[in-house]
Each structure stands twice: as structure tokens, then as C-alpha cells.
Structure 1
Amino acid sequence: MQVTRTRAWTSLAASAVVAAGTVTATAAPGSAATAWAPADTATIHPGVQMYTEGAQCTANFVYTDGVGNVYVGYAAHCAGTGEATDTNGCDAGSLPLGTKVEFVEGGSLVSAGETVGTGTLAYSSWLAMQDAGTTDENACAYNDLALVKVDPAFVADVNPSVPFWGGPAGIDSDGTAAGETVYSYGNSSLRGGVEELSPKQGTSLGTEGDGWSHPVYTVSPGVPGDSGSAFLDAEGKALGTLSTLAIAPLAGSNGVGDLSHELAFAQSTSGIAGLELAAGTEPFSPAL
């Protein structure tokens, strides 16, 4: 399958160059209790734009660790230094851990948007696989998750609920069958802030790569800048993270990395004790 990554490079007045009050939520098992901002006023959440040295991606889910640190996920290739066709995470270049990342609302080709928070790259599946000497072809091709540790000054601005849909309500651990409905929320700067185009509903084409990936079709496919965005299954469970746009043989389909595989790998290699997905404070509601 010929695929390309889906992060976007943006600059003011220039075209994009594709390189592809608080409420308390129940903490994930093993993690410290976290007080979340209300979903309707939180500025850092799934779907927020994330900028890394000029490359723009979309946040997937929120994560916590055993001592109360908060992380926001996107795709590992969002910190990549190579070409859009560099899809093998076991040998692709990446910015180092510690790289600064900005959380932004309203970024587009004509506006820098508003920076609503900052964080640092704390985990990259690409760097972790390279450090571990991973040789599994499926992991190398599809393990595409990175975690950005939210700077302490902005933790109180975080909510883990997926905009429009709500959730996540746990993690999908058994993949998807062909024909199953999936839901996503992209926030590419290429859409110029047209929020009506962000919620996506579509269909899974099944599971591939020994469970590591799910090809999907959505009513409007994910585009550069949607990279990393969250996918939910039909029950509102976290299914995966947007990774690639297929050119052939399934033109217009997207590759979604399986979160249960990606998170398990992160838990075993990141050195982040008690790493867990944070449940949304808003109930999953699939009605368009």
C-alpha cells in the first residue's frame, strides 16, 4: 500500500507543504486523581491543534501518569524530520525528546492562531522503537504515537473529552470489523477554521498489520494537519490515532494506528510510570 503521512507545514500568507471552574473525573486505574477544566471552556483537549517547529497536527487523547502529570497525544511523525513518505518508524528521523510543542486554536494558512498552552515531547514511538531495536515490520509501519507533557502552568486548562462526540469511554481492545462505524475529530489548519468540517463519521475497513492498524473511510477523509487525531469506535471507546492517507490501492482512505497496541508499547518503553488513557468527562453521543 502506498501511503503518505498527514501532518501539515504552515506559515502566514503561504501555502502548506504536506509532509503528510473544574470538574473532577474518575482517574484511570493507577493514576493520580486529576481535576479537569469543564469541557465547554477547556482550551487544551482532544482536537486542539499542536505545532512542532512549524508542523501542525491534531491532538488525539489525554493521558495521565501515576504522579499526576498530564500528556496530550498526537502522531510520532508530527515530530518527524524526514519526508511525507517516511512511514517506517524504525528508521525515520525525529526531533528529540524535550522539543517544545505549542497548543493552538484557530491556526490557518493566514493566521498563526492563538497559543493556548505549551508542552514538551515526552515520548515518541519512533524513538522508542529505534532505541529498543524493534524489527517487527508491523510495529515499524504502524506504531505512530507521541506524547506531549503539558507544562504545569496549563494543566488546569485541560479536559479529556473529544469535542462533538464525547468520550472516550475506555479503550477498544479487540479491533474493528469491516463495516463498523467509526468517529473522529480533525482540526487541520488547511480548513481555515471551518469547524463544521472537523467532526467525521465513517466506516472501518477492518484490521491489518496483525492488529496494529485500521484502514477507514470517512465522509471527508483526513487531510494534512489532521495527523494524530482521535478515532472512536461505535461504542465511544478509543480506537486509534490518524496516521496516514492512502494513495493506493484504497485511495482516500486513512490509516489509523491501533491505540491498544500503541499505548501498551508506550507503557513498556516510555519509562512513564502509571501511564493511562484519561476517560472523557462528557458521555459519548454519536448522533450527528
Structure 2
Amino acid sequence: MSIVRDAVAAATLSGLVVLAAVVAALVAPAPGEAATGAASAEAGRWAPVGRATITPGVQMYTAGAQCTANFVFTDARDRVYVGYAAHCAGLGEATDTNGCEAGSLPLGTPVRFARGGTLAGAGETLGRGRLAYSSWLTMGERGTTAANPCAANDFALVRVGTAHERKVNPSVPFFGGPVGRGGVPAAGATLVSYGSSSARPSAVLSPKVGASLGSTHGGWGFDAYTLTPGIPGDSGSGLMDGRGRAVGTLSTVALAPLPASNGVGSLARELDFAQRTSRIPGLRLVPGTEPFRATPLG
């Protein structure tokens, strides 16, 4: 079962120091980049942020494999969905990167929301849902063969069980937002993310700050470097730009252009594809109820 699909080479201590210096130079917000967004007008629709347990950044378990939630979505019938990576429900090997060829669990597969999961235990169950959309399944059904979407369209939605909808808040832990969605961030643009890998010994390292390394796969994705990098279990987690716009979903760990960089799917492309093909009418990203906060490194 794939969590983050590509293998990552062991980095030397000196290499990590150099990479940290690169990030420190890149993440300083450009003038006007760190503007905060207004809190969502829909705040009353969601659980108060202090009591919500199903949010972006929550752990999601599918057939035993653990990933991280990116953002919250709703549809025309006001049903609630949480996004993660399509490969989180994949059936292939850790090296599978072509979503048009890899196998996947079917729609309706149970998914468990959790916190505190580690390599030694599955953590506390916070709620349950079912796989409602997978870009991998959809591309396979449609006979998609084009290299760019097949390699980078890695997005899925889990419908939150009705009994658990009152536990949901769309705000990203630590950073707040999102304030909407944006396109592929230019190279050097500030990025923030929040991952909840069960392989990470402390939640202190869950908030991540970094920078875009530029567009990939014909605009279907981009590479990113964050400190710390995304690791297995962070897959599916969302990335926001320096203005708090949702821009990506974590897909792979890569060896280039920087060791331990991440391959990220463009949320704009992935969501547009899902809106056209998912049979979920009125699908939309939900903005956070909490204002986006500028990077804490600024």
C-alpha cells in the first residue's frame, strides 16, 4: 500500500544543513505575500475550532494505510467531504506513480479518521467515512492515458459519516485558512503545510514552512521543499501559499530537484477534474473559519 510512493535517499547531516539554509532563504515572505485572509462567513456551519476533531491535518486510515487530510469540501446537498491523496487507497507497490495504471480500492471503502496514530498503534478513532471519489479510479474508467494527469492527478474525497459531520471544522491547524484556492505557485513562493505522519515522533514537527520549486507535469503539479520534508503518512496533506490559498496536495517524496523534496499535485487542476467527473454536484472547497496567519518564521 502506497503512502508516499517514491523512495527517498538517506541524507547526510551536512546535506540537511545546506538544504535548511536554502529554505531559510526562500521562505521569507515577499512584500504583501503574508497577508491574512478574513475568517469564513460560514463559521456557524462548523464545529468550533477548539472542539472540532475532524479537520485538515487529521490522520486518515484506509485498509490500515495512514495518510493526512488536506482540506474540507461540500456539495450541493450540503454533504461533507475530506480530501486526501488517491494513492492512499491504492493497491500497488510503493513505486507506483501512474494513477491511470495503478489499482485502487473501490468507492465505498471505509476510512477512519484518527489522532495519535503511531507505528506501534492506530490511535484514537475520531470518526468514520467512505471513499466517495478517486482520481485514479476515474482516470482508469475514462481511459485516460496522457502522461501529465496520469502522473500528477492524485486526489480523492472521503464523505464524512452523517453522525460525524458536527465534529468537522475546515481550518488548517496552526496556520488557519484556507482563504480560497490558487494556482500553481511560482518557484520561490512561500508554502505552508501540516502533516500528521504516524512515523513522526512528535506533533511539534507537523507544521511545515517551505517554498515552491516550480511547476511540473505541464502544470498538473509542482515540486516543493519544506522544513521538515513530507514523509510517509503525510501523503494527501494540503499546501497553502503565502496568502493562505489552497494550492496543492502532497503526493510523492522525490530525489530531485532537491533531495527529500516533495512532488505535489495542483489542487486547482485536481479539483476542476473532480468537479467535471465525480458525479458530486456542486463540489467546492470550504474556506477556513480561522484567519490565515502569516508564516511563524517571518
Per the TM superposition, whether the score is higher than 0.5 is: yes
- Offset of 1:26 from its aligned partner? 3.5
* SS of residue paired to 2:215: coil
Alignment of 1:15-94 (within 5 A): 25-26=40-41, 35-94=45-104
- 2:115 is matched with which residue? 105
Question: Does residue 167 of the first structure (1) align with residue 187 of the second (2)?
Answer: no
User: Quick one: which of 203, 215, 218 aligns to 1:207?
Assistant: 215
- 2:225 is matched with which residue? 217
- Offset of 1:274 from its aligned partner? 0.2
User: Quick one: which of 220, 244, 247 aligns to 1:239?
Assistant: 247
In the TM superposition, what whole-angstrom CA distance separates every residue of 1:49-100 from its partner, at most 9, and x where no partner exists?
Answer: 0000110000000000001100000000000000011100001010000000
Aligned-partner residue type, residue 252 of structure 1: A
User: Quick one: which of 1, 4, 7 aligns to 1:6?
Assistant: 4
* SS of residue paired to 2:269: helix
Distance 1:261 1:141, change over 3 A: same
Could you tell me how far apart the structure 2 residues matched to 1:130 and 1:286 are? Answer: 40
Could you tell me how far apart the structure 1 residues matched to 2:98 and 2:212 are? Answer: 23
Alignment of 1:81-230 (within 5 A): 81-173=91-183, 175-192=184-201, 194-230=202-238
- Offset of 1:249 from its aligned partner? 4.9
In the TM superposition, what whole-angstrom CA distance separates every residue of 1:19-62 from its partner, at most 9, and x where no partner exists?
Answer: xxxxx9545xxxxx971001121000000000001100000000
- 1:17 is matched with which residue? none
Aligned-partner residue type, residue 81 of structure 1: L
Greater share of helix residues, 1 or 2?
Answer: 2
Could you tell me how far apart the structure 1 residues matched to 2:176 and 2:87 are? Answer: 26
* SS of residue paired to 2:214: coil
- Offset of 1:5 from its aligned partner? 5.2
- Offset of 1:133 from its aligned partner? 1.1
Could you tell me how far apart the structure 1 residues matched to 2:251 and 2:120 are? Answer: 25
- Offset of 1:106 from its aligned partner? 0.4
Distance 1:85 1:287, change over 3 A: same
- Offset of 1:286 from its aligned partner? 2.0
In the TM superposition, what whole-angstrom CA distance separates every residue of 1:129-150 from its partner, at most 9, and x where no partner exists?
Answer: 0111112210000000000000
- Offset of 1:247 from its aligned partner? 2.6
Identity of aligned residues (%): 61
In the TM superposition, what whole-angstrom CA distance separates every residue of 1:94-118 from its partner, at most 9, and x where no partner exists?
Answer: 0000000000010002232100000
Would the aligned equivalents of 2:40 and 2:290 in 1 still touch at CA under 8 Å? no
Normalising by structure 2, report the TM-score: 0.85
Could you tell me how far apart the structure 1 residues matched to 2:286 and 2:266 are? Answer: 17
* SS of residue paired to 1:122: strand
Alignment of 1:275-286 (within 5 A): 275-286=283-294
* SS of residue paired to 1:279: coil
Distance 1:257 1:34, change over 3 A: farther
Could you tell me how far apart the structure 2 residues matched to 1:34 and 1:84 are? Answer: 41
Instruction: List gaps (5 residues or longer) in structure 1.
Output: 8-23, 28-32
Aligned-partner residue type, residue 221 of structure 2: S
Could you tell me how far apart the structure 2 residues matched to 1:172 and 1:223 are? Answer: 24
User: Quick one: which of 251, 257, 265 aligns to 2:265?
Assistant: 257
* SS of residue paired to 1:77: helix
Normalising by structure 1, report the TM-score: 0.88
Aligned residue pair count? 263
- 2:27 is matched with which residue? none
* SS of residue paired to 1:107: coil
Would the aligned equivalents of 1:65 and 1:274 in 2 still touch at CA under 8 Å? yes
Would the aligned equivalents of 1:25 and 1:35 in 2 still touch at CA under 8 Å? no
